[in-house]
Amino acid sequence: MRQDLERCSNLEHSSELISRWVGLAEDGRYDHQVAIKTVRLDQHHIDKIAKYGEIREIVEDLDSQVVIASAIHYMGEKYTLGHMGLLINSVFKFVKVGKAIDSSVMPEICQMIISEFGLWLTFADLKLCLKFGITNRFGELYDRIDTQVIFRWLEEYRTMRMNESEQLRREALRKQRAEDKGVPMPPEIKEKMEALDQKLKRERESKEYEFKPTLSKNIEHLRTDEQKSI
């Protein structure tokens, strides 16, 4: 298993990391594609995700995103906290406020974010949320950025993210339905449907034939009785 991971990853992983992944694989909790994606979570990745300007862009490109919980799972808490700190600092370095977050409490703030939002929050989501915050998309800063402010931003962002995901899901469903309507019926299905239609048609004609003589006979009988009564 260790040799397979080293060979297919084509990356210089540490022995400790490989051992971690081997353990996850033995427990049935290993996805190689996700694991490799978390390894690429470096400064280049953090710079790259700055291109996203709207939530829809992230949702449409989720396959290339790294979920924070996945980073912890495959790379460990220390690695993840380090990159979360880099990301947060990369956004806040452009902000000048009277009351800012002290670097000494940054690991604690990151752990709180992980606990509350980590299962769905990607690094791209986190960066975009913070960008929305410092550009007043969630309201005025009032010269302070602290834990309460960041959590309010994330809660508002979560609602926006859910709404955007639902909107995209509905659009995809409408598109699929439209495509399904335009798809021609397979020949073998069409033949079976036509045969069934002919069978039903013959059955209807047969029943009508059986019914009409009986009805005519009954009408004639009624006329005869009526003449007798006269």
Render pLDDT for 141-157 as a digit per residue (tens, 0 to 9). Answer: 777 788 899 999 999 99
Average pLDDT over residues 30-56: 88
CA distance 125 to 150: 13
- DSSP characters over 153-184: HHHHHHHHHHHHHHHHHHHHHHHHHHHHHHSP
Q: Which residues are paired to 144 by β-bridges?
A: 99
CA distance 154 to 100: 17
CA distance 63 to 37: 10
Q: Residue 211's pLDDT is what?
A: 46
Greatest CA span in the chain, whole angstroms?
Answer: 115
Domain boundaries, the chain: 31-182
Give the residue, 186 or 57, on which the prediction is more confident. Answer: 57
Assigned token pair, 67: 């979920």
Residue pLDDT, tens place only, 164-218:
999 999 998 888 887 777 666 677 777 777 777 776 677 666 655 554 454 445 4
Please give the C-alpha separations between residue 93 and each of 26, 86, 88, 139, 147, in angstroms, as whole numbers.
43, 10, 9, 19, 17
153, 161 Cβ separation under 8 angstroms: no
Average pLDDT over residues 101-120: 89
Among 98-102, 135-139, 196-200, the range with the most confident prediction by mean pLDDT is: 135-139
Q: Find, among 89, 13, 79, 10, the residue nearest to 42 by Cα.
A: 79
- Looking at 26-35, 42-51, 151-160, 198-207, which range is the least confident one? 198-207
13, 5 Cβ separation under 8 angstroms: yes
Q: Has residue 219 got a pLDDT over 50?
A: no
CA distance 1 to 11: 15
Q: Has residue 13 got a pLDDT over 80?
A: no
Residue 223: which pLDDT band, with cuts at 50, 70 and 90?
low
Residue indicated by tokens 């400064």: 43
CA distance 23 to 194: 59
